[in-house]
Amino acid sequence: MIDVVIFDMDGVIVDSEQVWDDVREQLAKERGGRWHEGAQAAMMGMSSPEWSAYMHDEIGLTQSPEEINAEVVARMLERYRERLPLIDGAVEAVRRLAPEFRLGVASSSNQPLIAAVLERAGIAELFDAVVSSEEVARGKPAPDVYVEAMRRLSAELGRTAAIEDSSNGVRAAHAAGMRVIALPNVHYPPAADALALADAVIASPAELTPALVRG
Which residue among 44, 64, 82 closes a domain? 82
Domain that holds residue 25: 17-82
Do 60 and 111 lie in one domain? The reply is no
Do 89 and 158 lie in one domain? The reply is yes
Do 65 and 95 lie in one domain? The reply is no
Do 155 and 178 lie in one domain? The reply is yes
Nearest Cα residue to 146 out of 176, 119, 117, 167: 176
Which residue among 82, 101, 121 closes a domain? 82
Nearest Cα residue to 48 out of 13, 104, 10, 85: 10
Which residue among 50, 66, 82 closes a domain? 82
The total of structural domains in the chain comes to: 2
Do 10 and 37 lie in one domain? The reply is no
Do 166 and 98 lie in one domain? The reply is yes
| Model confidence, pTM | 0.93
Cα distance between residue 150 and residue 177, in whole Å? 11
CATH number for the domain harbouring residue 206? 3.40.50.1000
Mean pLDDT by 10 residues, the chain (215 residues): 97 94 95 91 88 96 96 97 97 98 97 98 98 95 97 96 96 98 93 97 98 96
Query: In the prediction, which pLDDT does 80 show?
Result: 97
Query: In the prediction, which pLDDT does 104 show?
Result: 98
Cα distance between residue 105 and residue 98, in whole Å? 13
Do 10 and 36 lie in one domain? The reply is no
